Amino acid sequence: MRGVVMYAPGDVRVEEREDPRIIEPTDAVIRLAATCICGSDLWPYRGIEPVDHTPMGHEYVGVVEEIGSEVKNLKVGDFVVGSFVISDNTCEICQSGFQSKCVHAEFVAATIGTQAEKARIPQADGTLVPTPGQPTPDMIPHLLAASDVLGTGWFAAVAAKAGPGKTVAVVGDGAVGLMAILAAKQLGAERIIAMSRHPERQKLARYYGATDIVEERGEAGIEKIKELTGGLGAHSVVEAVGTQESFMQAVGATRGGGHLGYVGVNYEVSIPGIQMFFAGIHALGGPAPVRRFLPELIQLIWEGKIDPGKVFDLTLPLEEAAEGYKAMDERRATKVLLTL
Amino acid sequence: MRGVVMYAPGDVRVEEREDPRIIEPTDAVIRLAATCICGSDLWPYRGIEPVDHTPMGHEYVGVVEEIGSEVKNLKVGDFVVGSFVISDNTCEICQSGFQSKCVHAEFVAATIGTQAEKARIPQADGTLVPTPGQPTPDMIPHLLAASDVLGTGWFAAVAAKAGPGKTVAVVGDGAVGLMAILAAKQLGAERIIAMSRHPERQKLARYYGATDIVEERGEAGIEKIKELTGGLGAHSVVEAVGTQESFMQAVGATRGGGHLGYVGVNYEVSIPGIQMFFAGIHALGGPAPVRRFLPELIQLIWEGKIDPGKVFDLTLPLEEAAEGYKAMDERRATKVLLTL
């Protein structure tokens, strides 16, 4: 099959990869309907994380082609959405809603690579969620978004306790930040402040529910959030960038006793303990347990209540993946969908 | 009046200080019934935090001697317990239960210094909680503990979501750690693991409700906690030491999706963002909003249901404060009560 391999930072190729097959009886093999490039794929692309002939991709939707002998909840032909972390969905950690910390957790990015025609998905019964039927083609980008950016943005908003009566500030206008805005709106937040200085993304932020835009960053950004919240800071802050500056901006923008949801940090982030301490805030972060939210998100998409797929602003065939990476790296595209 | 002043690291003196008086109409002046030395007073004593002729102390109980013209909830003669952070108890942040981040917050340690015969307490109506009557002398250590160590340990246990069915690990066997054990027990925790290698403190930990003792630290300590929890880590972890090693031990001991409550870090702690991220845990820390818990804690003490005052294992007259600091610094005493 064809698949994306990152040879080295900046060197993305599409080449023949071995066809996946059932290894464990709990596996399924799916044929992808579409895949995409994630903001986190840019870390190795930019040399911030190690990469060496690595199969890429961790977002996926598609049709079950083959199942292992122990798979009970799926059948060949089902259309499925899966998370970027494998989970059995039955262990104590999964049952508490933290499937990304499942005792069988495995990162799709590290071992599988779904920027490809097919993929082997371990723990298929736990990981994959079938849609109510075969989706129409225009539903596919929305379902694909659920696999990571929507699920991650949703988790961030839930972690930040976005809800009625709350002012939510979202640091970052990438796909995850935009999805956190969509989520905050769905969760009933009263006011949603997008921190963005990119005109196109500001427009999309407003489309998804932002009520205010703050262009300032760092200390000036924090001051602006305080100005907008009677000097207190936001009840709920989502951190969706992952740099030192953005993380500390998010901490500073959260009011005492407020909630910070953070869904990605790079390897260089170092949090001064004393600053975190005196902030006096709740913080919840980590690889998002997307699996927890998938049934609900699929339903919302199925009923046409949310349209997360608008976050894809460039569509390319899989063979042109290298151009997709380049466009995202140069910020010409927010998120690239790869067709198969 | 007589009061403790730390001239420089290691140099503690008791000397004449100016008598406090009402400055703002919302102030009260109290005559202390007892005061004490806090583990955090050791940071400047050891030169880890700056100190220069600083009046010391932030824990206090006593009798109201004088009130400002706007004080409504207290009268002269009331016996009161206050938190180590001043709060109006009416602002939006206070009302949300985070009085230590009150819009009028002020640290007693920084400006007042309650290791003294008297103290001026700003925002008296918000800060001070009267007891149901005049306490008997044997109640005073218990009430004094509520002012900080009990309130802080209690907050840590609440922040860590200690409760029925939960396994709680407490990192640190100082006064706050011991009080977190007492709190976890009161909150109904199923299992309470004290991380301690000090025989006397282990005994007190068991007295307050610890079901298990772990002597290992760092990675070995984390492994031991995992061993005791089916490989998952504790649901709830309290960090009550505040060093780099203890903080990361607490992070590592918390299961995915679990809760970490931390109530003090020193200036040297730097949290690797990526490690915090992949832990996938809830964290809540900060100067404890003791005021939130004072009415409940006073009631429990009044009814004889808890005896936090056992944490004082050395009692000295105020004039011998220097010896008290020395005893705590050398770990000859867990916590020193100073009589007046």
Model pLDDT for residues A183-198, shown as the tens digit of each residue: 999 999 999 999 999 9
Mean pLDDT across B264-274: 92
Of B97, B264, B277, the CB nearest to A286: B277
Domains parsed from chain B with CATH numbers: 2-148+289-339 (3.90.180.10), 154-285 (3.40.50.720)
Return the pLDDT at B111: 84
Query: Which stretches of chain A are DSSP H helices?
Result: 42-45, 92-95, 108-111, 124-127, 140-146, 149-159, 175-186, 199-208, 218-228, 244-253, 273-279, 290-302, 321-329
Instruction: Return d(Cα B322, Cα B330) in angstroms, integer.
Output: 12
Average pLDDT, chain B: 97
- Contacts for B146 with CB less than 8 Å, ≥ 6 apart: B81, B290, B293, B294, B297, B298, B301, B308
Average pLDDT, chain A: 97
Q: Which of A98, A232, A285 sits opposite B276 (nearest CB)?
A: A285
The fraction of chain B above a pLDDT of 90, given in percent, is 96
Closest CA to A253 of A288, A211, A283: A283
Task: Output the pTM of the full model.
Answer: 0.96
pLDDT tier at A15, thresholds 50, 70, 90:
very high
Q: What tens digit of pLDDT does each residue of B236-266 get? A: 999 999 999 999 999 999 999 999 999 988 8
- In this complex, do B274 and A276 lie within 8 Å of one another by their Cβ atoms? no
The angle that helices A244-253 and A218-228 make with each other, rounded to 10 degrees, is 20
Q: Can you tell me the distance from the alpha carbon of B257 to that of A95, in angstroms, rounded to the nearest whole number? A: 10
d(CA B326, CA A263): 45
The alpha carbon of residue A133 is apart from the nearest alpha carbon of chain B, in Å, by 32
By Cβ distance, the residue of B231, B282, B287 closest to A280 is: B287
Greatest Cα pair distance, chain B, in angstroms, is: 60
Window 222-261 of B: residues touching A by CB (8 A cutoff) are 230-232, 244, 247, 255-257
A17, A325 Cβ separation under 8 angstroms: no
Find the Cα–Cα–Cα–Cα dihedral A66, A69, A70, A73, rounded to 10°: 40
Tell me the mean pLDDT in the region B94-101: 98
Residues A25-42: pLDDT tens digits?
999 999 999 999 998 899
Scanning the structure block, which residue is given the tokens 């989970």? A87
Residue A33 is encoded by which pair of tokens?
A: 């309907």
Q: Which residue of A has its CA nearest to B239?
A: A277
Q: Which residues of B touch A282 (CB under 8 A)?
A: 282-284
The whole-angstrom distance between B205's CA and the closest CA on chain A is: 26
| Nearest Cα residue to A56 out of A333, A331, A321, A323 | A321
Answer whether A55's CB lies under 8 Å from A3's CB.
Answer: yes
Q: Name every chain A residue with its beta carbon within 8 A of the beta carbon of B93.
A: 232, 255-257
- Of B189, B169, B181, B193, nearest in space to B250 by CA: B169
Residue B110 has pLDDT above 80, yes or no: no
- For A196, the enclosing helix (H) or strand (E) is none
Q: Do A265 and B273 touch (CB under 8 A)?
A: yes
8 Å CB contact between A105 and A286? no
Give the model confidence (pLDDT) of A123-148 as tens digits: 999 999 999 999 999 999 999 999 99
pLDDT of B177 reads 97
All residues at 6 or more sequence positions from A174 whose CB lies less than 8 Å from its CB, including other chains = A39, A201, A240, A241, A334, A335
Say yes or no for a CB contact (<8 Å) between B286 and A92. no
How far apart (Å, rounded) are the C-alpha atoms in residues A291 and A123? 12
CB contacts of A281 in chain B (<8 Å) are 284, 286
CA–CA distance, B228 with B197 (Å, rounded to integer):
17
B272 touches chain A (CB under 8 A): yes
How many Å apart are CA B184 and CA B17, to the nearest integer?
Answer: 40
